[in-house]
Structure 1
């Protein structure tokens, strides 16, 4: 079977291969923005406060912070404080849920990164559900999911009203998403924000965009343990082809801080501030290279698709 036949076969199921330059995406977030800025690894209220302070000083508009240590590593008081900060600043607060394979007693996840987010056994799935309910009860409206089965359960809980209908379900980078059929599957299961694999060319991300309506999340600087790319010059093409897209700022040459805590407080806050500086660099480059893409509507209330906490 030659290449043309293979392309036709993929297209038959709604996933044609993009040849040549990716098409422009005309889709946007609810407020008309083509992109938003996400600061990951925001591991608690003190880090969040540092991120907001740095963003104000640098005039960088932050739309979402995400946390990787998980709900179970935060006290109720810490979650409430993060929710209050997010509500006041109109910033989405996205918390990772559940125990995960990488922290479990099993050995596979220690050697296979793809198993790191897996929920091993139904008791762990139940723990993830419990954390989702706890976070929502404390005002959180955005959760980070690392297991496809857990995503399915949470999606069904949204559908039956157990969880809020406007709850953002964001897939983790630990859930491999390297092609359009996988992205479409995740969305059918309930995902509203799709973290794509960190090493995809723009064309492959454009194929995922063509198959989904959920927001796409792209690391434009990738942590070392997820590949370590620095993709600042890809940002104009990403905004043009993958909108609506979250531009995520990791930091290379930085230690993994999961699970975080007081022993890493200063480092986590410094990393948060540096991610904001990286965002300033990316947004400046976008304005220089593609000024027609850099503009954003003024913030006027809270858009329907932004998971700002309810306090």
Structure 2
């Protein structure tokens, strides 16, 4: 940073917003997440792009739902995750936006699209998790409070594995620290916070919980289209332990994914890994001492290989 600019504007940019003392179990401050990894072919594209750009991807997440993958596909994703030491987090498939009711497809009801409708969908949601666990998956995106509590209770009784990770989806992202604290108390393992948080907002969130926070450094147009990968050093300093999540602005929506949009899904994730690589260059340029977790790091919901 030119000395004159630094003196004139009194950088750094955080202007007194406190740094976090939190870390992941391995001592790292941040991890990289690539979302919308919808199936084995898309995960293969992530791994290929990560090797090309020399980027460690710690977690991939998926939005269509485990219910739309065959058991063979679930096992393939679990095997790739296990081999590469990365978390594979799948959305729970049944939800209002997929259901026969029209409410979730109206402007007023759209915000409730990730919730589960009635006992029928709740039971299918639990079964979706059990089916994927049987195939080796150990991490799931949750967008319904009732489902979170049900899965937490099943985990406490030993009916679901202790190492399962309950990742709160951006569909349920808390907008204030009190709401974040409620999700933590209900059993969340990691929480996606809104992508447009200011530094002060992020610090307020971090002050109420030690849970990892997931933050889009770039988000899809549907989530506001923020592009702030260049801010990674400050965001990690304030929000650690932080999953730096790379969506993609100006990209085709692929939910629910299938053969009809597979090429788009593959191109999208390759671009997301590239965005992550650029952000890591900004991090290196900043001189910050932020450390990223490596493969197989403690606390990751790395899948189990099932034959």
TM-score, normalised via structure 2 length: 0.91
Native 8 Å contact 1:21 1:203 kept in 2: no
Equivalent position to 1:72, from 67, 73, 77: 67
Q: Which residue of 2 aligns with 1:196?
A: 193
Equivalent position to 2:234, from 234, 237, 261: 237
| Distance (whole Å) between structure 2 residues aligned to residue 174 and residue 116 of structure 1 | 8
Q: Which residue of 1 aligns with 2:9?
A: none
> Unmatched 5+ residue regions in structure 2?
1-13
- Over 3 Å counting, the alpha-carbon distance change for 1:90 and 1:241 in structure 2 is same
Q: Which residue of 2 aligns with 1:51?
A: 46
Equivalent position to 1:24, from 16, 19, 43: 19
Secondary structure in 1 aligned to 2:171? coil
Per-residue CA deviation, residues 29-63 of structure 1 (Å, 9 max, x unaligned), is: 11111000000000000000011011011100100
Secondary structure in 1 aligned to 2:172? coil
State the 1:22 CA deviation. 2.4
Q: Which residue of 2 aligns with 1:176?
A: 173
Equivalent position to 2:100, from 99, 105, 109: 105
> Unmatched 5+ residue regions in structure 1?
1-18
* Alignment pair present for 1:125 and 2:122: yes
State the 1:272 CA deviation. 1.0
| Distance (whole Å) between structure 1 residues aligned to residue 158 and residue 51 of structure 2 | 37
State the 1:20 CA deviation. 6.7
Secondary structure in 2 aligned to 1:174? helix
State the 1:223 CA deviation. 0.4
Native 8 Å contact 2:173 2:191 kept in 1: no
Native 8 Å contact 1:98 1:124 kept in 2: no
Equivalenced residue count is 290
* Alignment pair present for 1:135 and 2:132: yes
State the 1:291 CA deviation. 3.1
Secondary structure in 1 aligned to 2:207? helix
Q: Which residue of 1 aligns with 2:33?
A: 38
State the 1:100 CA deviation. 1.3
* Alignment pair present for 1:146 and 2:143: yes
* Alignment pair present for 1:305 and 2:294: no
State the 1:80 CA deviation. 0.3
| Distance (whole Å) between structure 2 residues aligned to residue 199 and residue 72 of structure 1 | 30
Per-residue CA deviation, residues 147-201 of structure 1 (Å, 9 max, x unaligned), is: 1111111111111111111111000111131111111111111111100012221
TM-score, normalised via structure 1 length: 0.90
- Does 121-130 or 229-238 show the bigger shift? 229-238
- Runs of 4+ aligned residues of structure 1 deviating over 3 Å after TM superposition are 295-299
Native 8 Å contact 1:114 1:176 kept in 2: no
| Distance (whole Å) between structure 1 residues aligned to residue 158 and residue 203 of structure 2 | 33
State the 1:309 CA deviation. 0.5
- Over 3 Å counting, the alpha-carbon distance change for 1:27 and 1:105 in structure 2 is same
Secondary structure in 1 aligned to 2:93? coil
| Distance (whole Å) between structure 2 residues aligned to residue 106 and residue 200 of structure 1 | 32
* Alignment pair present for 1:296 and 2:292: yes
Q: Indicate the structure whose relative CO is greater, using CA pairs within 8 Å and at least 6 residues apart.
A: 2
